[in-house]
Structure 1
Amino acid sequence: MIQKDFIPKEYTGQLEEADFGWQSPSNIALIKYWGKKEIQIPANPSISFTLDNCHTKTWVQVSAKSQTENEFSFEILLDGAAKPDFAPKIETFFKRVQPYLPFVNAYHFKIRTTNSFPHSSGIASSASGMSALALCFMSMENTLIPDMDQEFFFKKASFLSRLGSGSACRSIEGPLMVFGQHQDISQSSNLYGVKYTGELHDNFKKYQDTVLLVDVGEKKVSSSVGHDLVNGHPFASARFEQAHKNLSELLVILKNGDLEAFVKVVESEALVLHAIMMSSQPYYLLLRPNTLRIIEKIWEYRANSSSNLCFTLDAGANVHLLYPEAEKESVLQFIKNELVVYCKNEQYICDQIGFGAKKL
């Protein structure tokens, strides 16, 4: 599909005062994308595990505008408290989605949102938050187009999510989502995420993700700024080529269940992501000393056992531990014995792969 396919031709229903709600998960990329073209178009494809316990719940209450001015009218609350600092990002989102949701400047929207994890904890709250908001808007549009096809509903929700946060388009479904065109995935697109429909080996079903919270707080360099710094990066073209190659390798691994190969690809991708940051101009560092201590402990643990535990990283200091469900008991014991000391206030979050958003 192309962009104009998401522009509605005609509304046949009516949008009355109502409250729409969705719960949408975060996700963790296995093959990373870093670098964007205009309006959230990825510089390379990515694939991610959809999470389950780490999610955002968002409700949007729709009401008639008190005035008829051609401006967006909304308020946003996080955990019941007004969050005016969220307004600029939401305003940008409204501007981007207006051509595809022409009703957005005709109403007042009260947006209430809550996360199942600490905000600014390094878990992708923009992914879960923007996808939940996009799904609420799609429920609104569904009242205006009552015969909307469900497949189109979720595809457009992913398309709209991308306009708020690139990674958000991978949070609509699960357990694996692909974002960005790739030669081995016929339905892949730069405009929205698509569900991985290839064969998935039993080794990767019920996969676990425990998030070690090393550093809780706002990042010193935002992901938006980080993506922009890839423009003109001397290693950029080689990195984009590498991502395509690694995704092809990972597709084979997901089918054959080779856990050792999975570890190598996923950990390499995490480290390359941060290598690009550290070699940008200006260069910057999001890893913390305890991030590196945890990585070294994981390598030591794996060398001394038959474990398939591995790590991955987002654009921050926190560490995602990925491992098969069969290793859950032993890995959690390892965390308690050796890793929790490196976590901020000994905080970590246990999660697992999930299957996408849920209507509230």
Structure 2
Amino acid sequence: MTEKDFILQDYTCKNNTKGSITWKTPSNIALVKYWGKQEPQIPENTSISFTLDACFTLTTLEYKLKEGNAEPDSESQNKMLNQVQYDKNRFNFEIYFEGEKKDDFKPKIQQFFERIEQYVPFLKAYDFVIKSRNSFPHSSGIASSASGMSALALCLMSVEKKINSEISDEYFNKKASFLARLGSGSACRSIEGELIVWGNHSEIAGSSNLFGIKFPYKIHKNFKNYHDTILLVDEGEKQVSSTVGHKLMHNHPFAKQRFLQATDNISKISKVIQNGDLKEFIAIVESEALSLHAMMMTSNPYFILMKPNTLKIINKIWEFRTKTASNICFTLDAGANVHVLFPENEKEIVNNFIISELIQFCQENHYICDRVGEGARLMKNE
């Protein structure tokens, strides 16, 4: 598919004047990381992620057709056409996050709408109210932009589905992923589950730079119901945004080697997911986490998002794995928090270890028990 396949054409809004849609959309955690992109939101390398379950964004999109965008009658024709002329050059929306109006979120949504307008041209026909909340701390190294932007993209696709009821579920999901990507790259991996690949790779059938796809091969039973306990080392906002970090890859001295490394790791982890080799899984996932942060520490300007307690947790995990031969491992997002990954059959021993040894390094002992999920869910469509 190409970008042109996602352009909505020959539509009318007259039969969909208002409504309210709610989607519950998960975050995700990349196993092979995406770091570095080209415009418009095209990844420099392929990534693969676990879709999460407990870490989600709940977004409600309320919409109402602007006065003058319905089919005008003869008496009000001129008045309504003037209103259309006034409204057609602007997006009208309000944003509420955790129950509070958030005008500081508006520039990002404005940019998102500008990027996607050619694909969902009804955007300027409606007044929107966006209401969101997270089940986890915002901007703390859990991919809140991934769940947030994917939820909004799904809400907009539900509006499109009302306008054009003939679109298939497959097309719906692909276009939602395509739109979400234009808001936040990793958001395209939060539409479906369990494992999502984003970025064209010669060994992954159907993979694309334009949207995420479900891992197309058999997933070994070892990776079913995989756990991810997120240790909240730092619940504050990141010192450096991911957007800034991606841009620093443009002139990075090790960028080319990093992209080759990630491409090779996709080949390796694809085989691992199919054959169930947990030891090789650990080696790839931990190397990827440290490579991501190595890119941050060697960019210009350089920065460190890990905290002292991040390193203490990592060393504790390594010690525990050596003692017990457990298949516990860690990964990191672009932040200080640690994602502790482990298989279903080790949940008791690993949970005991986390509680007794690791949560002491978390901010106020905060952590989130999560596991691999099935993807986004439509909660309301009125």
* Structure-2 residue corresponding to 1:307: 326
Alignment of 1:183-332 (within 5 A): 183-332=202-351
* Structure-1 residue corresponding to 2:8: 8
Partner SS for 1:102 = coil
* Structure-2 residue corresponding to 1:56: 57
Q: Distance in 2 between matches of 1:223 and 1:15?
A: 37
Q: Distance in 2 between matches of 1:151 and 1:357?
A: 14
Q: What are the superposed Cα offsets for residues 227-251 of structure 1, whole Å, 9 maximum, x if unpaired?
A: 0000011111111011010010000
Alignment of 1:175-186 (within 5 A): 175-186=194-205
Q: What are the superposed Cα offsets for residues 257-313 of structure 1, whole Å, 9 maximum, x if unpaired?
A: 000000000000000000000000011110100000000000000000020000000
Tell me how far 1:73 sits from its aligned partner: 0.4
* Structure-1 residue corresponding to 2:110: 91
Q: Which has the larger radius of gyration?
A: 2
What is the aligned-residue identity percentage?
Answer: 58
* Structure-1 residue corresponding to 2:78: none
Is the aligned partner of 1:348 residue 2:349?
A: no
1:231 partner letter: H
**Aligned-pair Cα RMSD in Å:** 0.9
Question: Any conservation in 2 of the 1:44–1:180 contact (CA below 8 Å)?
Answer: yes
Is the aligned partner of 1:24 residue 2:59?
A: no
TM-score (norm 1): 0.99
Partner SS for 1:335 = helix
Tell me how far 1:217 sits from its aligned partner: 1.2
Question: Any conservation in 1 of the 2:204–2:216 contact (CA below 8 Å)?
Answer: no
Q: Distance in 1 between matches of 2:291 and 2:257?
A: 11
Partner SS for 1:172 = coil
Q: Distance in 2 between matches of 1:268 and 1:227?
A: 19
Q: 2:95 aligned to 53, 76, 88, which one? A: 76
* Structure-1 residue corresponding to 2:45: 44
Q: Distance in 2 between matches of 1:224 and 1:120?
A: 13
Q: Distance in 1 between matches of 2:136 and 2:307?
A: 21
Q: Distance in 1 between matches of 2:356 and 2:48?
A: 32
Q: How many residues align?
A: 360
Tell me how far 1:209 sits from its aligned partner: 0.2
- Give unmatched runs, 5+ long, in structure 1: none
1:207 partner letter: Y
Q: Distance in 2 between matches of 1:90 and 1:315?
A: 22
Tell me how far 1:64 sits from its aligned partner: 2.9
Tell me how far 1:314 sits from its aligned partner: 0.3
Q: What are the superposed Cα offsets for residues 56-99 of structure 1, whole Å, 9 maximum, x if unpaired?
A: 01010001336542201000001211011111100000101100
Question: Any conservation in 2 of the 1:65–1:73 contact (CA below 8 Å)?
Answer: no
Q: Distance in 2 between matches of 1:50 and 1:28?
A: 7
Tell me how far 1:140 sits from its aligned partner: 0.2
Q: Distance in 1 between matches of 2:230 and 2:209?
A: 28
Partner SS for 1:74 = strand
Question: Any conservation in 1 of the 2:205–2:216 contact (CA below 8 Å)?
Answer: no
Q: What are the superposed Cα offsets for residues 134-173 of structure 1, whole Å, 9 maximum, x if unpaired?
A: 0000000011101111100000000000000000000000
* Structure-1 residue corresponding to 2:74: none
Q: Distance in 2 between matches of 1:120 and 1:242?
A: 28
Alignment of 1:95-114 (within 5 A): 95-114=114-133
Tell me how far 1:9 sits from its aligned partner: 2.1
Is the aligned partner of 1:126 residue 2:145?
A: yes
Question: Any conservation in 1 of the 2:140–2:238 contact (CA below 8 Å)?
Answer: no
1:309 partner letter: I
Q: Distance in 2 between matches of 1:88 and 1:135?
A: 20
Q: What are the superposed Cα offsets for residues 317-355 of structure 1, whole Å, 9 maximum, x if unpaired?
A: 000000001111111111111111100000000000001
Q: Distance in 1 between matches of 2:40 and 2:234?
A: 29
